[in-house]
Structure 1
Amino acid sequence: MGFDGFPDEALIFYEGLLADNSKTYWTEHKDVYERAIKTPMLALIAELGDSWGEPKVFRPYRDVRFSADKSPYKTHQGAFCEILDGVGYYVQLDADGLTTGAGFHAHTREQTARYRAAVDSPATGPQLAKLVTSLVDNGFELSGDQVKTRPRGVAADHPRLALMRHESLVARRHHEPSPSLHTAAAAAVVRADWHALAPLVEWVATYVGEFTMPPRR
């Protein structure tokens, strides 16, 4: 089955789940989730192809073991194409529309240490600063875990202090619901954003993940 977009009932489903995050609501509307959300997301990832990395469509159930919020279900559907541990491309659907993103979530202290060393280096740090400035100028937002002040040993006047504070780094862009979301054109939106994010992922993969990216198709 090809990707034909996400139907409007997918957004309505998440609006309802936000209002009533319960097993009762989920059970009564599970067929909508399967038909209008999970199946199209699987089709979207298949449409984008495996050159973006190993695809994973996340489960809709929250891990509440260590959370004060015991709501059982995620109020979004995400998928991640991973090129190596914690590094890759992301897409998410929720009641507010579509979000694309890419970057890395550190899985080890060594990853964070390699990231900061690369940001600190005058040979590689300015390259990242230029990349993220371009992405922000083009409508992407930076996020990721970071320390509140600055890492130990980093000077207060470091030229890339904002980036040094990060323990992980993600750039993302949100797309409000539009007619294209309900058509195959949504795949082109995701693909275009991922292409724009590819230089960031390639930088991270090279200097944080110790991995050389293949040419982007």
Structure 2
Amino acid sequence: MSAPAAFSGFPPAALAFYAELEDQNSRDWWLAHKDVYDRDVREPMLALLDGLEDEFGEAKLFRPNRDVRFSADKSPYKTHQGALVGSGTVLGYYVQLSADGLRAGGGFRAVSPAQTARFRAAVDAPSSGLELEAVLETLRGKDFELMGEQVRTAPRGYAVDHPRIAVLRHKELMVSRDLGAPAWLSTRRALTVVRDTWRAVRPLTDWLEEHVGAETVAPRR
């Protein structure tokens, strides 16, 4: 397989592709427009990831098909293209392209109760917990949004008035920044923006690597 061409931006046709897919999410429509997906979405995304690999590592490009086995929504295709660089496919740096433009961030998605337990123990501990609190405060100041599944009240074993209860409620933790669809999206500058975004997230992913660790998702049967 030949190496991706040098990244030169995401063309406007990529966003238009997803805007139309949101209204025409069917196998017939996808097959009729697959050449647009390959040329304007997949190939530029692979080129972007190739340009970031030396610093961040090899990426996993997520498949465009949705897993509809347990979903009431049976639309067959995702309305965005996502990719992740990291450990075990659940801890690291994330980027996605949709009709709304580009979004990037990082963190961890919990795949076991043990992983969540390690995360909460580190949040609870004074030294590591205060370190994470400072990291998250910095990221909030850079327009990152905190995300991830969480419980409504205090998790079992932790007081409701814990000084870091808002973070302890999380079962998993990601941060994400909406980069939108500015003019530079169709230029090489998009790679620089994603690189800078991932660099800003690195203190969080470093903390998570040290205190939580990744676990590999079991393969589908």
- TM-score bracket, normalised by the shorter chain, equals over 0.9
| Aligned equivalent of 2:20 | 16
Match of 1:118 in 2: 122
Shift of 1:109: 1.4
Letter of the 1:21 counterpart: N
User: How many residues are matched?
Assistant: 211
Contact 2:7 2:44 in 1 (8 A): yes
Query: Are positions 1:193 and 2:192 aligned together?
Result: no
8 Å contact 1:147–1:165 — kept in the other structure? yes
- 1:47 maps to 51
Query: Does the CA contact (< 8 Å) of 2:145 and 2:177 recur in 1?
Result: yes
Alpha-carbon distance, 1:52 to partner: 1.6
SS at match of 1:199: helix
Give structure 1 stretches of 5+ with no counterpart.
211-217
Q: What residue is the counterpart of 1:80 in the other structure? A: 84
Change (3 A) 1:26 1:84: closer
Instruction: Tell me which residue corresponds to 2:173.
Output: 169
Q: How far apart, CA to CA, are the structure 2 residues paired with 1:53 and 1:204?
A: 17
**2:182 is the counterpart of 1:178:** yes
C-alpha distance in 2, partners of 1:37/1:171? 23
What residue number does 2:39 align with? 35
- In the TM superposition, residue 25 of structure 1 has moved relative to its aligned partner by 1.3
AA aligned to 2:187 is T
Identical aligned pairs, as a percentage? 52
2-structure distance, mates of 1:72, 1:101: 26
For the residue of structure 2 that corresponds to 1:92, the secondary structure is strand
- Structure 2 counterpart of 1:109: 113
Distance between the aligned counterparts of 2:101 and 2:89, measured in 1?
A: 27
Question: Please, what is the CA RMSD of the aligned residues?
Answer: 1.3
Structure 1 contact 52–88 (Cα < 8 Å) conserved? no
Residue matched to 1:213:
none
Q: Deviations over 1:25-50 (max 9, x none)?
A: 11111100000000000010000114
Moved over 3 A (4+): none
Q: Deviations over 1:62-112 (max 9, x none)?
A: 000010000000000000001345210000000001000100011221111
Q: Is the 2:146–2:174 Cα contact (8 Å) retained in structure 1? A: yes
The two structures have a TM-score, normalised by structure 1, of: 0.94
Unaligned segments of structure 2, at least 5 residues: 215-221
Q: Which residue of 2 aligns with 1:134?
A: 138
Equivalent in 84, 89, 92 of residue 93 of structure 2: 89
Task: Tell me how far 1:178 sits from its aligned partner.
Answer: 1.2
Distance 1:154 1:177 in 2: 42
Deviation, structure 1 residue 198:
0.2
Counterpart residue identity of residue 206, structure 1: E
2-structure distance, mates of 1:85, 1:28: 31
What's the secondary structure of 1:81's corresponding residue? strand
Match of residue 152 from structure 1:
156
